[in-house]
Structure 1
């Protein structure tokens, strides 16, 4: 069964998401990072390239030719079926139509009210669907 992890009260969501991507990569897992649109995808890609001085987080857009050899895929405004079996880092305003297609889903929730409202809605939907949900309060994490 797919495990859903909500990381709430995140002070710097983009930085936290880069760190999460790095952790998934270091564990040897494949990852899809879902973003709202193309500008957000480009900004996040840039953040991954410049995340650390010596770290490298290999990634590409999911439909690029090199995607078959790349552990981290980026998608704008969609949850491609080809990503089934991967971990999903959901930075999109939407929820995947088939959450069970992913091994795990990471939901990053900022400190603003809009993020919290979306997260509450998703939490209820995942709960209604019977998923294993875990909550991590990140308010004490810098």
Structure 2
């Protein structure tokens, strides 16, 4: 069963996501980062290239032929087959359809009231399904 971690009260979701991806990559984790909005993913793509001069975070879009060999995959299609099933980072306000394929999922919840409400609803949903849940508040 998928382990689900909630990271809530995130002030800057883009910056926080970059740091989270960097941390997971440093732990040799292969991941899929999901957001339904292609434009948002493009901003994330650009931010990952410019996060720091010292970090190289190899990433591609899911549609890229190199996605199976790349540890960080960005996806806007929750129904597409994913090359990695270790970690899913959900950056949307909805439950990804394919989340049960992953060993672990991190839900990133912003400080926005609508995002917090949607996050609480997903938390209850996962809890009712019997998933192991953890929660941490962003600093």
TM-score range for the pair, normalised by the shorter chain length: over 0.9
Q: TM-score, normalised by structure 2?
A: 0.92
* Residues in 2 aligned to 1:74 and 1:119: alpha-carbon distance in whole angstroms: 21
TM-superposed deviation, 1:56: 1.0
TM-superposed deviation, 1:81: 2.7
* Residues in 2 aligned to 1:71 and 1:134: alpha-carbon distance in whole angstroms: 24
Relative to structure 1, the CA distance from residue 17 to residue 95 in structure 2 (aligned partners, 3 Å threshold; closer, same or farther) is: same
Superposition pairs of residues 1-142 of structure 1, within 5 angstroms: 1-83=1-83, 85-138=85-138, 141=139
Q: Which structure 1 segments of 5+ residues have no match?
A: none
* Residues in 2 aligned to 1:5 and 1:79: alpha-carbon distance in whole angstroms: 21
Q: Is the 1:36–1:93 Cα contact (8 Å) retained in structure 2? A: no
* Residues in 1 aligned to 2:125 and 2:80: alpha-carbon distance in whole angstroms: 20
**Which of 65-74 and 81-90 deviates more?**
81-90
Q: Is the 1:89–1:105 Cα contact (8 Å) retained in structure 2? A: yes
Task: Please state whether the residue corresponding to 1:82 is helix, strand or coil.
Answer: coil
Q: TM-score, normalised by structure 1?
A: 0.90
TM-superposed deviation, 1:77: 4.0
* Residues in 2 aligned to 1:41 and 1:48: alpha-carbon distance in whole angstroms: 10
Relative to structure 1, the CA distance from residue 134 to residue 106 in structure 2 (aligned partners, 3 Å threshold; closer, same or farther) is: same
* Residues in 2 aligned to 1:84 and 1:66: alpha-carbon distance in whole angstroms: 12
TM-superposed deviation, 1:61: 0.6
TM-superposed deviation, 1:24: 1.1
Q: Which structure 2 segments of 5+ residues have no match?
A: none
Root mean square deviation of aligned Cα: 1.4
